[in-house]
Structure 1
């Protein structure tokens, strides 16, 4: 499994907060529980760690008693996710696991369902809304997908490749973030909503046990919010190549393209098509490394600056503000004791 932690755009935090506000609940105490400061929410470029987002997820569930964030007319009461995991754990293989996970969600939600449409060439999760229900926001589809997909990937011990995704809803402000979550081939405003998966997982055996389920639940959902992001894109390959070495040893674009056995011009063109550049990927990695180090609270800002490639702390401060719209000290807040675990 990919150990990459990564960070999550504050735009997704804002979408979660809007779910809380629509239910008439004050989000400020919830954000405080997750260790997310007002400064980060106020910054359009802000990022939060997967642990913070997991803690936010769990705090919202406790506040609303709804594991679907109030996005369906029928609440997904606390404990539903655990019950879904237990039901899917008895499956023999990936095909049974995804059928049981989607079937369980169909039992607890009224407005949205996901049906498994499988052939030898592909597997689609086809999303349908009950007659009379208004089109859902992308955040609702993503919430459903994260719950089902994360569990099935865990059960078979593999990250299942996502080939394509289509949604009827309009593209949200966090469109780029959703592409990193699903796949590059993601389109909005389509006639139907579905996520297409590579079919090989259907025959894989379920390898998890009741004992490993306890560990999974202790770390969920933070354990899979970022972990199962699209691993097959060129940007992901570039990130993996860089993550395996110190920042001081990161190669130039020409050297990395040679490592990846691709022409530098082709690499540049493909990254540009996905809204990335080699420099933007390096900056995002340095940002995420810096955020993780700042939140650990174990090292000085000067040491962190040096580790992510800055000879002068002042240059690091300027770059960090450009990356996140905030100061490094805004990320110094300690994480809460609750790291996002769901009750067992």
Structure 2
């Protein structure tokens, strides 16, 4: 028999206890589900205990089928088996991710009015938020975490890309197992906020969907891992790196600094760029070259100031790099541009 607890145990036992409460709500016994997930009953008495993702997948799957409730008791009425598959089918024909998520949120309201989901974009940040329309009681944390994790997982699956979160917010105090939120959600997690929310770069909403009906059928047979699957590919990473390098030249001199701004590890940053056929050094050179050329052409700043503005620590290293890029020194480049004939509209 497969040892489901052999992988990293990161899921708090509080979520298992929430599933047990769902069994109590429906007057059923959780014994079979606990046994199938290899979760010992005494583990439930230890607030600091953790289970593996495989165990959480197994007990969730068993409970959803035995209780005929894909919401696992969160709401005032059941969400029968296949409810979230219906949401996925309603979303998969959308032309881009933003439309798909809007459909998901709107149709979720047809399944239950206990919560409302909303997607909003402000200043290039997309926010998915939950409004609680009734007291979720003891299910509150498990519900809010699961709904946002599920939505994030589906979004990643629809565009076949990792979507790094810029932050997650929750309207309750930090639980005793709050350190695990760093595993559940990328970016910083804050508690005691007005609403449950996740935030991401809004440009992901413009990416086209990459899944079809055949892929959907296959996914629905094994959908639960979507909440834990970490995609290697990030289809916006190269653009995000370019923008971060351009807007924070003084804070991105090292891979460590850049990775911190992007909420990934330096190792992950290099690996994902390689997956995208790019390198950090090449992107740095591209952004610095463009920045330096723009400043040389459009301003009268001294070369030393141009070097600093382009992200170089000193003028000497800038001049050497610029000569490698263009075959000219910065001063020669500026003189050649000044001497070139101007177009009638220039």
TM-score bin, normalised by smaller chain:
0.5 to 0.7
1:101 corresponds in structure 2 to 104
- Check the 8 A contact 1:168/1:191 in 2, yes or no: yes
Maintained 8 Å contact 2:124/2:203: no
- Return the offset for 1:229: 9.4
The TM-score with structure 2 as length reference comes to: 0.61
Q: Do structure 1's residue 88 and structure 2's residue 116 form an aligned pair?
A: no
8 A contact 2:164–2:187 mirrored in 1: no
* Aligned-residue offset at 1:10: 4.2
The counterpart of 1:183, out of the listed 183, 186, 206, is 186
Partner Cα distance (1:201, 1:79) in 2: 27
- Cα distance in 1 for residues equivalent to 2:151 and 2:171: 20
Q: How many residues align?
A: 236
5+ residue gaps, structure 2: 1-6, 235-258, 272-346
Match of 1:192 in 2: 195
Q: Distance in 2 between matches of 1:141 and 1:189?
A: 13
Alpha-carbon contact 2:187-2:263 (below 8 Å) kept: no
Write out aligned runs for 1:147-296 (5 A): 147-221=150-224, 223-228=225-230, 237=265
Tell me the secondary structure at the aligned position of residue 130 of structure 2: strand
Aligned partners of 1:206 and 1:41: how far apart in 2? 40
TM-score (norm 1): 0.61
Contact in 2 for aligned 1:163/1:185 (Cα 8 Å): yes
**Secondary structure at the counterpart of residue 195 of structure 1:** strand
Aligned counterparts of 1:81 and 1:87: Cα–Cα separation in 2: 10
SS of residue paired to 1:75? coil
SS of equivalent residue, structure 2 residue 166: strand
Residues 316-338 of structure 1, C-alpha deviations (whole Å, 9 max, x = no match)? xxxxxxxxxxxxxxxxxxxxxxx
Question: In the TM superposition, what whole-angstrom CA distance separates every residue of 1:42-63 from its partner, at most 9, and x where no partner exists?
Answer: 5555443322211111111112
Superposition RMSD in Å: 3.0
Q: Structure 1 residues 139, 238: closer, same or farther in 2, change over 3 A? A: farther
The 1:213–1:229 alpha-carbon spacing in structure 2 relative to 1, beyond 3 Å, is closer
The answer (yes or no) to whether the contact 2:152–2:227 under 8 Å persists in 1 is no
CA distance in 1, matches of 2:84, 2:40: 28
Which is higher, the Rg of structure 1 or of structure 2? Answer: 2
What SS class does the counterpart of residue 186 from structure 2 fall into?
coil
Are 1:71 and 2:85 counterparts?
no
Which residue does 1:116 correspond to in 2?
Answer: 119
Name the residue aligned to 1:8. Answer: 10
Higher relative contact order (CA 8 A, sep 6+): 1
Shift of 1:37: 3.2
- Please report how far the alpha carbon of residue 111 of structure 1 lies from its aligned counterpart in structure 2 after TM superposition: 0.9
Q: Are the aligned partners of 1:6 and 1:226 in contact in 2 as well (CA < 8 Å)?
A: no
C-alpha distance 126-47 of structure 1, shift in aligned 2 (>3 A)? closer
